[in-house]
Structure 1
Amino acid sequence: MTVFRTFDMILVAIMICAAGITYKVKYDAQKRIGEVQRIERQIVAEKNTINLLHAEWAMMIEPERMQVLVTRYQDQLGLQVTDARQIIKLQDIPERLPDQIENLIKDDELEEKNSLLARNGNANVDNIATGSVRP
Protein backbone atom coordinates (compact mmCIF):
# COMPACT_ATOMS: atom_id res chain seq x y z
CA MET A 1 0.00 0.00 0.00
CA THR A 2 2.85 2.40 0.73
CA VAL A 3 4.38 1.55 -2.62
CA PHE A 4 1.32 2.97 -4.37
CA ARG A 5 1.39 6.11 -2.24
CA THR A 6 5.06 6.72 -3.03
CA PHE A 7 4.40 6.04 -6.70
CA ASP A 8 1.39 8.39 -6.58
CA MET A 9 3.53 11.12 -5.01
CA ILE A 10 6.15 10.71 -7.74
CA LEU A 11 3.47 10.94 -10.43
CA VAL A 12 1.98 14.06 -8.78
CA ALA A 13 5.46 15.66 -8.71
CA ILE A 14 5.98 14.79 -12.39
CA MET A 15 2.56 16.28 -13.25
CA ILE A 16 3.41 19.49 -11.38
CA CYS A 17 6.74 19.74 -13.25
CA ALA A 18 4.98 19.09 -16.57
CA ALA A 19 2.38 21.77 -15.75
CA GLY A 20 5.16 24.23 -14.89
CA ILE A 21 7.02 23.48 -18.12
CA THR A 22 3.78 23.78 -20.12
CA TYR A 23 3.05 27.15 -18.49
CA LYS A 24 6.57 28.37 -19.28
CA VAL A 25 6.32 27.28 -22.93
CA LYS A 26 2.91 28.93 -23.26
CA TYR A 27 4.21 32.15 -21.68
CA ASP A 28 7.25 32.19 -24.00
CA ALA A 29 5.03 31.56 -27.02
CA GLN A 30 2.74 34.45 -26.04
CA LYS A 31 5.76 36.66 -25.57
CA ARG A 32 7.04 35.76 -29.05
CA ILE A 33 3.60 36.33 -30.59
CA GLY A 34 3.48 39.77 -28.99
CA GLU A 35 6.95 40.51 -30.37
CA VAL A 36 5.90 39.40 -33.87
CA GLN A 37 2.78 41.57 -33.69
CA ARG A 38 4.89 44.55 -32.61
CA ILE A 39 7.25 44.03 -35.55
CA GLU A 40 4.29 43.68 -37.94
CA ARG A 41 2.90 46.99 -36.64
CA GLN A 42 6.30 48.58 -37.22
CA ILE A 43 6.36 47.23 -40.78
CA VAL A 44 2.91 48.66 -41.48
CA ALA A 45 3.97 52.01 -40.04
CA GLU A 46 7.13 52.03 -42.19
CA LYS A 47 5.11 51.15 -45.31
CA ASN A 48 2.71 54.00 -44.53
CA THR A 49 5.66 56.35 -44.08
CA ILE A 50 7.13 55.22 -47.42
CA ASN A 51 3.78 55.77 -49.15
CA LEU A 52 3.54 59.21 -47.58
CA LEU A 53 7.07 60.06 -48.74
CA HIS A 54 6.25 58.86 -52.26
CA ALA A 55 3.20 61.12 -52.31
CA GLU A 56 5.21 64.03 -50.94
CA TRP A 57 7.90 63.44 -53.58
CA ALA A 58 5.26 63.41 -56.31
CA MET A 59 4.02 66.77 -55.05
CA MET A 60 7.57 68.17 -54.84
CA ILE A 61 8.44 67.32 -58.44
CA GLU A 62 5.13 68.41 -59.93
CA PRO A 63 5.90 70.34 -63.15
CA GLU A 64 3.74 73.35 -62.26
CA ARG A 65 5.49 73.72 -58.89
CA MET A 66 8.89 73.35 -60.50
CA GLN A 67 8.02 76.07 -63.03
CA VAL A 68 7.01 78.44 -60.24
CA LEU A 69 10.29 77.74 -58.43
CA VAL A 70 12.29 78.24 -61.63
CA THR A 71 10.70 81.61 -62.29
CA ARG A 72 11.10 82.66 -58.64
CA TYR A 73 14.79 81.72 -58.41
CA GLN A 74 15.80 82.42 -62.03
CA ASP A 75 18.41 85.01 -61.10
CA GLN A 76 20.01 82.96 -58.30
CA LEU A 77 20.15 79.64 -60.15
CA GLY A 78 20.98 80.96 -63.59
CA LEU A 79 18.79 78.33 -65.25
CA GLN A 80 17.99 78.53 -68.94
CA VAL A 81 15.47 76.80 -71.14
CA THR A 82 16.87 73.84 -73.06
CA ASP A 83 16.89 74.50 -76.79
CA ALA A 84 16.28 71.76 -79.30
CA ARG A 85 19.76 72.35 -80.75
CA GLN A 86 21.30 71.40 -77.38
CA ILE A 87 20.08 67.82 -77.65
CA ILE A 88 22.40 65.66 -79.77
CA LYS A 89 23.05 62.02 -80.44
CA LEU A 90 25.74 60.04 -78.67
CA GLN A 91 27.68 59.65 -81.92
CA ASP A 92 27.94 63.45 -82.23
CA ILE A 93 29.90 63.81 -78.99
CA PRO A 94 33.63 64.08 -79.78
CA GLU A 95 35.91 61.43 -78.36
CA ARG A 96 37.87 62.55 -75.33
CA LEU A 97 41.59 62.83 -75.85
CA PRO A 98 43.72 60.75 -73.50
CA ASP A 99 45.40 62.66 -70.71
CA GLN A 100 49.02 62.36 -69.57
CA ILE A 101 48.38 59.50 -67.15
CA GLU A 102 46.62 57.42 -69.79
CA ASN A 103 49.52 58.04 -72.19
CA LEU A 104 52.01 56.91 -69.54
CA ILE A 105 50.01 53.75 -68.86
CA LYS A 106 49.82 52.96 -72.58
CA ASP A 107 53.56 53.56 -72.99
CA ASP A 108 54.32 51.36 -69.99
CA GLU A 109 52.11 48.55 -71.31
CA LEU A 110 53.75 48.86 -74.73
CA GLU A 111 57.21 48.58 -73.17
CA GLU A 112 56.15 45.49 -71.19
CA LYS A 113 54.82 43.83 -74.34
CA ASN A 114 57.98 44.64 -76.26
CA SER A 115 60.19 43.30 -73.48
CA LEU A 116 58.11 40.09 -73.32
CA LEU A 117 58.37 39.67 -77.08
CA ALA A 118 62.12 40.28 -76.94
CA ARG A 119 62.55 37.67 -74.20
CA ASN A 120 60.35 35.16 -76.00
CA GLY A 121 62.19 35.68 -79.28
CA ASN A 122 65.37 34.31 -77.72
CA ALA A 123 63.64 31.30 -76.22
CA ASN A 124 63.95 27.91 -77.84
CA VAL A 125 60.90 26.71 -79.65
CA ASP A 126 59.62 23.35 -78.51
CA ASN A 127 59.37 21.08 -81.54
CA ILE A 128 58.13 18.00 -79.71
CA ALA A 129 54.91 16.75 -81.27
CA THR A 130 52.39 15.17 -78.94
CA GLY A 131 49.25 13.28 -79.71
CA SER A 132 46.98 16.23 -78.95
CA VAL A 133 48.92 18.86 -80.88
CA ARG A 134 49.36 18.53 -84.62
CA PRO A 135 52.73 19.62 -86.02
Structure 2
Amino acid sequence: MNSNRFLLLIAISLLWLVGCSNQDIKVHTTEKPDAAEILKLDSNADIFQWGDSIYQTGIDWVDELKLEEKEHIGEIEFKASKPEDFKNGAANKLPIGAEIYSVKDHDDILIVKFENEVKRYLASSEG
Protein backbone atom coordinates (compact mmCIF):
# COMPACT_ATOMS: atom_id res chain seq x y z
CA MET A 1 0.00 0.00 0.00
CA ASN A 2 2.82 2.38 0.91
CA SER A 3 4.61 1.60 -2.35
CA ASN A 4 1.46 2.54 -4.31
CA ARG A 5 1.28 5.90 -2.52
CA PHE A 6 4.97 6.47 -3.14
CA LEU A 7 4.58 5.75 -6.89
CA LEU A 8 1.53 8.02 -7.05
CA LEU A 9 3.46 10.81 -5.32
CA ILE A 10 6.35 10.43 -7.80
CA ALA A 11 3.97 10.44 -10.78
CA ILE A 12 2.19 13.59 -9.55
CA SER A 13 5.54 15.29 -8.88
CA LEU A 14 6.79 14.49 -12.38
CA LEU A 15 3.60 15.78 -13.96
CA TRP A 16 3.84 18.97 -11.93
CA LEU A 17 7.50 19.50 -12.91
CA VAL A 18 6.83 18.90 -16.59
CA GLY A 19 3.65 20.97 -16.60
CA CYS A 20 5.29 23.91 -14.88
CA SER A 21 8.29 23.96 -17.14
CA ASN A 22 9.04 27.44 -18.46
CA GLN A 23 10.82 26.34 -21.62
CA ASP A 24 10.02 27.98 -24.91
CA ILE A 25 9.71 25.73 -27.90
CA LYS A 26 11.25 27.14 -31.04
CA VAL A 27 10.12 25.93 -34.42
CA HIS A 28 12.44 26.46 -37.34
CA THR A 29 10.94 26.38 -40.80
CA THR A 30 12.87 26.00 -43.99
CA GLU A 31 12.00 26.93 -47.51
CA LYS A 32 13.11 25.64 -50.86
CA PRO A 33 16.28 27.40 -52.01
CA ASP A 34 15.87 30.00 -54.72
CA ALA A 35 18.17 30.68 -57.67
CA ALA A 36 20.22 33.21 -55.68
CA GLU A 37 21.02 30.63 -52.98
CA ILE A 38 21.98 27.94 -55.49
CA LEU A 39 24.18 30.30 -57.50
CA LYS A 40 25.79 31.65 -54.34
CA LEU A 41 26.95 28.11 -53.52
CA ASP A 42 27.98 27.35 -57.11
CA SER A 43 28.19 30.31 -59.49
CA ASN A 44 28.55 27.91 -62.45
CA ALA A 45 25.46 25.81 -61.62
CA ASP A 46 23.23 24.83 -64.54
CA ILE A 47 19.71 25.50 -63.21
CA PHE A 48 16.17 26.28 -64.26
CA GLN A 49 12.95 27.08 -62.43
CA TRP A 50 9.81 25.00 -62.89
CA GLY A 51 6.73 24.76 -60.68
CA ASP A 52 8.28 27.18 -58.17
CA SER A 53 11.24 24.83 -57.63
CA ILE A 54 14.83 25.23 -58.79
CA TYR A 55 16.20 22.23 -60.69
CA GLN A 56 19.93 21.57 -60.99
CA THR A 57 21.93 19.20 -63.20
CA GLY A 58 25.34 17.61 -62.76
CA ILE A 59 24.37 15.41 -59.83
CA ASP A 60 26.18 12.09 -60.17
CA TRP A 61 23.68 9.80 -58.46
CA VAL A 62 20.82 11.23 -60.57
CA ASP A 63 22.80 10.62 -63.77
CA GLU A 64 23.30 6.97 -62.74
CA LEU A 65 19.57 6.24 -62.29
CA LYS A 66 17.59 4.29 -64.87
CA LEU A 67 14.79 6.73 -65.68
CA GLU A 68 11.77 6.55 -67.93
CA GLU A 69 10.13 9.65 -69.36
CA LYS A 70 6.52 10.13 -68.41
CA GLU A 71 5.24 13.07 -70.45
CA HIS A 72 6.21 16.39 -72.03
CA ILE A 73 5.31 19.10 -69.50
CA GLY A 74 6.67 22.27 -71.07
CA GLU A 75 9.73 24.06 -72.31
CA ILE A 76 12.23 26.72 -71.31
CA GLU A 77 10.76 30.12 -72.14
CA PHE A 78 13.22 32.64 -70.69
CA LYS A 79 16.96 33.15 -70.26
CA ALA A 80 17.95 34.39 -66.81
CA SER A 81 21.34 36.05 -66.50
CA LYS A 82 20.85 37.21 -62.89
CA PRO A 83 19.27 35.36 -59.93
CA GLU A 84 16.52 37.97 -59.65
CA ASP A 85 15.49 37.23 -63.26
CA PHE A 86 14.41 33.68 -62.43
CA LYS A 87 10.74 32.74 -62.72
CA ASN A 88 8.94 29.60 -63.83
CA GLY A 89 10.26 28.57 -67.24
CA ALA A 90 13.57 30.45 -66.86
CA ALA A 91 17.05 28.92 -67.18
CA ASN A 92 20.56 30.28 -67.00
CA LYS A 93 22.26 27.83 -69.40
CA LEU A 94 19.54 25.93 -71.25
CA PRO A 95 18.39 27.38 -74.56
CA ILE A 96 14.89 28.77 -75.03
CA GLY A 97 12.73 25.99 -76.42
CA ALA A 98 14.47 23.15 -74.56
CA GLU A 99 11.79 20.53 -73.87
CA ILE A 100 11.01 19.44 -70.30
CA TYR A 101 9.72 15.95 -69.45
CA SER A 102 8.46 14.46 -66.21
CA VAL A 103 9.87 11.12 -65.06
CA LYS A 104 8.04 7.98 -63.92
CA ASP A 105 8.45 7.18 -60.21
CA HIS A 106 10.53 10.32 -59.47
CA ASP A 107 8.55 13.52 -58.90
CA ASP A 108 11.72 15.44 -58.04
CA ILE A 109 13.59 14.72 -61.29
CA LEU A 110 12.97 16.21 -64.73
CA ILE A 111 14.58 15.41 -68.07
CA VAL A 112 15.42 18.23 -70.50
CA LYS A 113 16.11 17.67 -74.21
CA PHE A 114 17.66 20.13 -76.65
CA GLU A 115 19.96 20.02 -79.70
CA ASN A 116 20.44 16.22 -79.49
CA GLU A 117 21.43 16.52 -75.83
CA VAL A 118 19.64 15.07 -72.79
CA LYS A 119 20.16 16.34 -69.23
CA ARG A 120 18.67 15.26 -65.92
CA TYR A 121 17.75 17.82 -63.29
CA LEU A 122 16.99 17.31 -59.60
CA ALA A 123 14.69 19.65 -57.67
CA SER A 124 16.54 21.49 -54.92
CA SER A 125 14.92 20.54 -51.66
CA GLU A 126 14.39 22.39 -48.43
CA GLY A 127 17.43 22.55 -46.32
TM over 0.5: no
Bigger CA radius of gyration: 1
Greater fraction strand: 2
Give the TM-score, by structure 1 length: 0.23
Greater fraction helix: 1
Give the TM-score, by structure 2 length: 0.24
